[in-house]
Structures are given as structure tokens and as C-alpha cells.
Chains A and B, each alone.
Chain A
Amino acid sequence: MANKLISEIPLPKSIANVFSARNVSTAKDALSLTEFELMELLDVGLTEVRSALLQISEIVAPPYQTALSLMEQRFQNEHLGGHFPTGLKGLDAALCGGIPFGVLTELVGPAGIGKTQFCLKLSLLASLPTNYGGLDGRVIYIDVESKFSSRRLLEIGLRSFPEIFQMKEMAQEMAGRILVLRPTSLAEFTQSLEQIKVSLLQNQVKMLVIDSMAALVSGEHEQGARRQQTLSWHISFIKSLAEFSRIPVVVTNQVRSRNHDDASRYCFQVQSRDGAIETPMQYDSHLVAALGIQWAHAVTTRLVLEAKSGERFIKVAKSPISPPLAFPFHITSSGISLLSDDGKEVMGPEINAIHYQGHNEIINFGMEGLH
């Protein structure tokens, strides 16, 4: 809509000619300038500029919907009103049905905690037919760190849905629906994103998984703010992809240790010491999510996976529809499963903290459990 040509908008002839004479050809060009700048550029009076802008704006502005019609539309057209059930009952209940369509869901956690396992399980679920709780469609899995293991995928499938996966053709069909891309650089990733946009609608793609977003950027040799700028185009592109195709998009993120540079206070907080409760937990967990605060704003739902006192937790850290809950989970041969469906409510900013204690014991225990 932004790049709509002015020639296509019904404006009075005289002003349309002036626009094209001055090389203002898309609505974007016209709207990016202020009224006075346009007057100078086009050499016409204020009222004419205003009425032209009004007409352009009216056409370019998106149509409105009432929230009620939005809800009805979602419930009628989409699977479960726009949610993808993960199979983890407690989590699904907290998320009002499952992973929401049309928005970014982020999985963040330290290495080895189970993010890729979760992604594998989700991809499998999405490929299943709807009577098994799946989306009955293709999945595009962007595997940056080469962690995708088809053997593990089939193992999960065999253990969780034996009736499907024991038949070789069915297993082949399901696994065949998962398309794995392995971009080796940010530029390749950008290219594949654009191709994905084209093929989304044609090929019945029902989910997009990017594992992991942080690895894409850490390969590039830029720091701090420039790194954020590099990603910002991708962030809005992926969001618009998710939005217009109404599919769930799951993205994984890594963690990094907190620097001195990390801001956590506003200027007015620094000044008034009284009344501010010192949060000792800030020094406890020295891990923060990678990719910065701009990314944190862009994702709609953030699920934090962490290890605390020997147990793993999946926490709903940021979500417009859920309370802040933490669920203990473990990884089994059939993927991830929750140890308890009742989440523990976590107060305050603790929900955003990422802990990494007692992790080594889990790994050793897990190894024994698998055999």
C-alpha cells in the first residue's frame, strides 16, 4: 500500500501532472514530506497540497475493522481461533489455546536447554493432520547452526505418534513436509526470506521456524547498535510475513552475559534512591537474551527456558494474553513434556530472568534417562 503509484490515485489532473513532473511517483514519497516542503517542491498553494494529501491518505490508509468482527473472523477461519496447540496442556491453557498465529513467538534460553528440541516437536506437530492436533501443512525450518537432526525428528514422531510413524509411507510424508534451509550468512538468509514470501501462499506453508536468530547476527562483525540496525529490516519483514499469511512463527534466541553497559534503569530511578527496592536478583542471573531491546519489543510472545536448582522451567515471560507462569519440564525421547500442568506464578521481573544453575546435573541425569 505504501508504494502505491500516484498515477493510480484519482487526483485532479493538474496536480497529478505536477507530481509526476517533480518525480514524486509513489505515495510514500509524497507522504514523507511535510506540507511546506511539498509546496516548495511542487510550486502550488497550500490548499491544493492539503487536498491532494488528503486524497492520497484516504486511499493509502488501511481499512478498519471493529474488534468484534476481527474476533469473529478469526474464530471462523482459523484453526482454534488462531492458535497452534503445542501439546503441552499447561502451556496451551496459559496461551489461550497455543502459539498464536500471525505474530512472532520467541524461545530464549541458555545452550543445551531444549530450544531445538522444542522446535523439532513443533515442526512435527504442524505437519500432522488436523485430527492429530496438527496444522496439516508444510513447515519451513531455517537451521542456522546445523542442529536439525532428522533422526531425532523421526524418533520423536515414533514415540509420540506411533500409529502414524510406524508406517513408512506416512513417516515419509510427514517428514517430507518439513523443509530445512541452511543459510550460511545473513545475506543468504535475506535472500531466502524473500523467496519464502513468494512461496508461502502457493505451497501451503503453515509454520516458519528460525533456529536461531542470534546465530545469524553473531556471524557478522558488527557490534551493538549497528548490529541492531542490520536486523531491523529483517524483523519487520518477518513480522509482516507472519501477519499477512497468519501463520505461527517461532524464533529461537541465545543468551549472553550481562555487560556493564546494559541499561536497566531510567534516569529518574538513578536519582531517587529511596523507595527503589534493590533487586538482588540482578546480580544473580548474569544472563540476558541476545539481540537487544529492539528485538525484545518486536516479539509478541517470549518463552524463556531456564534451569534452576536442577530443574528446567519454561516461563511465559511476555505475552499479551497470559499471566506470568513457569512450568517445569523435561526432555524425553518423545520430545518435551511438562512435569506439571499447573504453572507456578512468577512475580515481577523475575519472569524475564534467565537462570542457569545446576545445569550440569541435568545433562548427566538426562543421559542416563535416555538409555
Chain B
Amino acid sequence: MEIWRLPISASQRGKLISAGYTSLSSLSSISSSDLARELNVSESEAMNILKVASHSRGSETSNASCSIVEVLDTFQWWAGAQSAWDMLHDEESLMHITTSSADLDNILGGGIHCKEVTEIGGVPGIGKTQLGIQIAVNVQIPNDFGGLGGNSIYIDTEGSFMVERAFQIAEACIEDMSEYNRFLRKDFQECKIKMQPQDILENIFYFRICSYTEQIALINYLDKFLSEHKDVKVIVVDSVTFHFRQDFDDMALRTRVLSGMALKLMNLAKRFSLAVVLLNQVTTKHTEASFQLALALGDSWSHTCTNRIVLYWNGNERYAYIDKSPSLRSA
């Protein structure tokens, strides 16, 4: 590992190189005060540099010297790294958010997965916003009924969130729960539904975004918000494309900003164990001498989300197609 790969500022790097330190091993035996003197920086800065250097070095050397057997046992050096076995255990205990459609839940393997980013796209009018609102309501189904009992964040970029519709969906959800209650637990009178549609609406945190700057700012801010509101279990972004399709002259900048945003969202999903649902629009793509529909934001965006569902019309019915998923078949 060379110096130029370290995450330190450019001027510090420049000073290191001009003082003659070009590889990490050269930093291994120097003390922080000597380094401070050589580079002409403050002692705390020098300590910082050494700390960063030893971090990166530690992971490198350990890689080289362990055999396969030892690797399995001692895989916890990196903070946040997990062995595949532990992950399997975690995944099995993960809950899913139902989409209220049994078929869709089936092909999704139980529902929308937590700790993952799912993208849902489709032509206008097919029901993306409806599905988004439905998920924001369904996440609040209490644990007794097989739900997550959590709150939801709804990030609206287009203004298509209609409160009246959310109210209708909340009412229907409560009705469903009462029916389920009556059907299965006829004897237990105390399991009456105490939830009201207003309670459900109260647990949906609604953000309205008017530009892409606000979108980026909000995703940065969500980190703090989520640590204050630990009950949030799903973030719905409707839609993630809108502000990025208007007047972005620099396409490369757009790609960089979008991938940065996607990484942060994945990070949030993993750290707070929640599901992230992104709704996307469609655009026409010219492939094989014909125009076809494809989800917006380009090819590089399609790599960033974990799961992809496309909603489309087939005859008179709406169909969902799983375009991309690490654990499920295309269906």
C-alpha cells in the first residue's frame, strides 16, 4: 500500500512524499514527534497520519500471513466485517415488509427485505406511488400480526403523496387486521385492534424535496434523524429520479452524485436494519434497432440497488417482474 492511497489531505500527502516517505513500511518505525518535526506539521496531525497508516497496514499484512483455516476463526479484525455464517443467521431472522399482495410477496421471498435497497419502477399510472404508500403503512403492522411495528419515512420529490389516499389505505389495513383477528383468534377478545388510521398516519414522517440539493442534504441528514428516531423501519423515496432528470448538464457529475447517494442509502439500510424502497421512472432506450422501455437514470444506476422490480401492464392486469435480486429468481 502506497502513501498516495491513504485518506489524508493532499497537502499532507505532498509533505510526506517530499520528506521521503513513499511507502507505508517507512512510516512504521517513526514516532509522532519525529514525524511532526520532519514534515513541519503539528503533533496531532502527525499522530493522525500515523494512525491512518497503521490501520491500512494492519489489514494488508494480516491478509498475507493467514491460512484458510485461521481466516475462518479470526475474521473479526475489521470493524463491521462479518463471516458469511453469521450473515446467514442474521438473514434468516430478518423480517420482511409485506406488500399486501400475496403473489408479489411470494416472488420477493416474503416481502420487502430489510437491510436492502429495493428499486421499483414502472410507467406513469401503474401504481408506484400506491405501492410506496402501501409499504409505508404496512411496516406499521404490529408484531402480533406478523409485521414490523415500525415507523416510516416518506420522501416525496414529486408531490404525488396524497394524504387522503394514505388515510384510505390505513383504514383498509386496519380492517384487514380486524378480519384476520376475527378469523384466527375467535376466542381472545382482548386482541382488539386499538389502532386508528390517525395513529398510522402519525407514524409516517413526510419530507418534501424541491431540488436535488435538498435530496442529497436530506440523505446526509437522515443519519442523525435515524439515530434519534430508532423506530423507523422503512424509507420510501418517491421518486428518486425526478430532480436528476431536469437540467443536469454534467452527466458525469450526475453519475457521481447518484452513486454517492446510493451508497449512503445502502449504508443506512445496513446500519439501522431498515428497508429502503426507491421508486423510479421509465425512459425509452434505443437497443437493437428498436426503442424499448427501461428504468431511468442510466446503466450505472442500475448497478447500485440490490433488488429491482419492474411493474408493467400485461393485457388488462398489472404484473411485477423481478429484474435483479441476489437471492431470488427472475419472476
Beta-carbon nearest neighbor of B137 in chain A: A67
Beta-carbon nearest neighbor of B151 in chain A: A66
Interface string of B302-331 (1 = CB under 8 A from A): 000000001011111100010100000010
Cβ of A358 within 8 Å of any chain B Cβ, yes or no, is no
Q: Which of A34, A240, A299, A300 contacts B257 (CB 8 A)?
A: A34
> With the chains together, A362 CA to B124 CA distance in Å?
31
Q: Which residues of B contact A320 (CB under 8 A)?
A: 129-130, 160-162, 165
Q: Which residues of B contact A43 (CB under 8 A)?
A: 9-11
Cβ of B204 within 8 Å of any chain A Cβ, yes or no, is yes
A57 touches B159 (CB 8 A): no
Interface string of A30-62 (1 = CB under 8 A from B): 011011010110011110000001101111111
Cβ of B246 within 8 Å of any chain A Cβ, yes or no, is yes
A296 touches B221 (CB 8 A): no
A68 touches B202 (CB 8 A): yes
A263 touches B292 (CB 8 A): yes
Cβ of B262 within 8 Å of any chain A Cβ, yes or no, is no
A263 touches B284 (CB 8 A): yes
Cβ of A266 within 8 Å of any chain B Cβ, yes or no, is yes
Q: Which of A70, A300, A351 contacts B160 (CB 8 A)?
A: A300
Interface string of A243-278 (1 = CB under 8 A from B): 100000000000000000111111111100001110
Q: Which residues of B contact A34 (CB under 8 A)?
A: 256-257, 260
Contact A64-B205, Cβ < 8 Å, known A232-B246, A302-B125, A348-B316 = yes
> With the chains together, A69 CA to B210 CA distance in Å?
20
Q: Which residues of B contact A142 (CB under 8 A)?
A: none
Cβ of A74 within 8 Å of any chain B Cβ, yes or no, is yes
B154 touches A67 (CB 8 A): yes
Cβ of B218 within 8 Å of any chain A Cβ, yes or no, is yes
Q: Which residues of B contact A67 (CB under 8 A)?
A: 154, 161, 163, 166, 201-202, 204, 206
Cβ of B213 within 8 Å of any chain A Cβ, yes or no, is yes
B221 touches A57 (CB 8 A): yes
Contact A54-B293, Cβ < 8 Å, known A243-B210, A293-B123, A321-B165 = no
Interface string of A73-109 (1 = CB under 8 A from B): 0100000010000000000000010001011000000
> With the chains together, A103 CA to B160 CA distance in Å?
8
Cβ of B93 within 8 Å of any chain A Cβ, yes or no, is no
Contact A66-B202, Cβ < 8 Å, known A45-B8, A232-B247 = yes
A61 touches B160 (CB 8 A): no
Beta-carbon nearest neighbor of A2 in chain B: B213
B312 touches A293 (CB 8 A): no
Contact A277-B314, Cβ < 8 Å, known A67-B163, A321-B164 = yes
Q: Which residues of A contact B272 (CB under 8 A)?
A: none
A236 touches B246 (CB 8 A): yes
Interface string of A1-36 (1 = CB under 8 A from B): 110000000000000000000000001100110110
Q: How far is the CB of A281 from chain B (nearest CB, A)?
A: 10
Q: Which residues of B contact A300 (CB under 8 A)?
A: 158-160
Cβ of B270 within 8 Å of any chain A Cβ, yes or no, is no
Cβ of A317 within 8 Å of any chain B Cβ, yes or no, is yes
Cβ of A167 within 8 Å of any chain B Cβ, yes or no, is no
Q: How far is the CB of A304 from chain B (nearest CB, A)?
A: 10
Q: Which residues of B contact A298 (CB under 8 A)?
A: 158, 242
Q: Which residues of B contact A187 (CB under 8 A)?
A: none
Beta-carbon nearest neighbor of B239 in chain A: A297
B159 touches A235 (CB 8 A): no
Find the residue from A239, A262, A263, A298 having the highest chain B CB count within 10 A. Answer: A263
> With the chains together, A103 CA to B123 CA distance in Å?
19
> With the chains together, A236 CA to B248 CA distance in Å?
13
Cβ of A337 within 8 Å of any chain B Cβ, yes or no, is no
Size bracket, chain B contacts: 35 or more
Q: Which residues of A contact B300 (CB under 8 A)?
A: none
Q: Which residues of A contact B166 (CB under 8 A)?
A: 67, 71
> With the chains together, A100 CA to B38 CA distance in Å?
69
Q: How far is the CB of B31 from chain A (nearest CB, A)?
A: 21
Q: Which residues of B contact A218 (CB under 8 A)?
A: none
> With the chains together, A46 CA to B13 CA distance in Å?
13
Q: How far is the CB of A296 from chain B (nearest CB, A)?
A: 4
Q: Which residues of B contact A70 (CB under 8 A)?
A: 163, 206
Q: Which residues of A contact B323 (CB under 8 A)?
A: 268
> With the chains together, A27 CA to B207 CA distance in Å?
19
Cβ of A160 within 8 Å of any chain B Cβ, yes or no, is no
Cβ of B198 within 8 Å of any chain A Cβ, yes or no, is yes
> With the chains together, A232 CA to B283 CA distance in Å?
14
> With the chains together, A238 CA to B299 CA distance in Å?
29
> With the chains together, A275 CA to B330 CA distance in Å?
14
Beta-carbon nearest neighbor of A347 in chain B: B316
Cβ of B167 within 8 Å of any chain A Cβ, yes or no, is yes
B315 touches A279 (CB 8 A): yes
Cβ of A318 within 8 Å of any chain B Cβ, yes or no, is yes
B287 touches A267 (CB 8 A): yes
Q: How far is the CB of B315 from chain A (nearest CB, A)?
A: 3
Beta-carbon nearest neighbor of A300 in chain B: B160
Q: Which of A65, A239, A276, A294 contacts B159 (CB 8 A)?
A: A239
Contact A103-B284, Cβ < 8 Å, known A270-B292, A302-B125 = no
Q: Which residues of A contact B282 (CB under 8 A)?
A: 293, 297
Cβ of A365 within 8 Å of any chain B Cβ, yes or no, is no
Cβ of A233 within 8 Å of any chain B Cβ, yes or no, is yes
The B180-219 residues at the A interface (CB cut-off 8 A) are 198, 201-214, 216-219
Q: How far is the CB of B318 from chain A (nearest CB, A)?
A: 8
A297 touches B281 (CB 8 A): yes
A-B contact pairs, 15 of them (CB 8 A): A2-B210, A31-B216, A40-B10, A44-B9, A56-B217, A67-B154, A232-B246, A240-B210, A263-B292, A264-B293, A268-B310, A268-B330, A293-B124, A300-B159, A349-B313
The residues of A with any CB-CB pair to B shorter than 8 Å are 1-2, 27-28, 31-32, 34-35, 37, 39-40, 43-46, 53-54, 56-71, 74, 81, 96, 100, 102-103, 229, 232-233, 235-236, 239-240, 242-243, 261-270, 275-277, 279, 293-294, 296-300, 302, 317-318, 320-321, 347-352
If A62-B207, A267-B287, A294-B283 are given as contacts, then 6 extra A-B residue pairs at C-beta distance below 8 Å, sorted by A number, are: A34-B260, A56-B217, A240-B210, A297-B239, A318-B125, A321-B162
The 9 closest A-B pairs by CB, nearest first: A348-B316, A277-B315, A57-B220, A2-B213, A318-B125, A60-B217, A68-B201, A67-B204, A57-B217
